[in-house]
Amino acid sequence: MYAQDQNAGAQSAAQTPANGAYVPVNPLSGVRYDNRFDLSLGMAYDHMKAGPTLLQGSNLGGLDASGSMWLTKHWGLEGSGRAYVGTSGAGVNSAGPGGGPLKGPMVKQYFFVGGPEWLGPHNLHGALVAHLLVGGVYGDFQKDLLGKPPAIFDFYYNQVAPAAIIGGHFDLNRSTHWVFRISPDAVMTHYTFSDAPISSQSFGQFDVNFAISVGLEYKFKRKR
């Protein structure tokens, strides 16, 4: 009987955690979808064409900054500012230094768009968010054209044009407030070119390209 009591006491002591023992905590236990505001910032990629007849596209890199105000659990308003920069191929020309062709001029795009977003399937681990953003884009195409007309290079001229972005976010929750975010989008722009036929790509007169950004989102604590 004494031996049995000793064994029972030993088992009880073995099952009782000592002071300072590790207690696992789920960092996602406080994840909620009732925040009013959130902000995100990511490294961004955008493909575009600097002119309506260019065969070579441009691969641009930059930043994507977005913010949301949630009106209900599923519906909110999103605003986004995006800046991209890179180099582009140019049409056949002899306008470069020494009478040779100009190669690799720099081009830039600056988007300012906003519109509705919808919170789709979601749980503690992540969420899918869709958005439709409309607004404008400033295209800077003439910086490296040596002061010559952009039509010589099959480029657009510098201009502000209508733009729309359709896509969304793949969100992966890392804590109550921090989210790892991937944002793939279809980007539509409507640049005009008075010296050559306007682009005849799909969606009427809009040029449709792909963009994606990867970064972090922060959800503010204030609730609706």
131 near 167, Cβ under 8 Å?
yes
Residue 20, pLDDT score = 61
Residue 96 belongs to a domain with what CATH number? Answer: 2.40.160.20
| pTM listed for this prediction | 0.82
Q: DSSP letters of 105-139?
A: -EEEEEEEEEEEEEEEEE-SSEEEEEEEEEEEEEE
Q: Is 84 helix (H, G, I), strand (E, B) or coil?
A: strand
Over range 15-42, report the average pLDDT.
78
What are 89-141's pLDDT values in tens digits? Answer: 888 888 777 778 888 899 999 999 999 999 999 999 999 999 999 999 999 99
Look up the domain containing 84 and give its range. 40-219
In a domain, 11, yes or no: no
In a domain, 161, yes or no: yes
In a domain, 192, yes or no: yes
pLDDT exceeds cutoff 70 at 25: yes
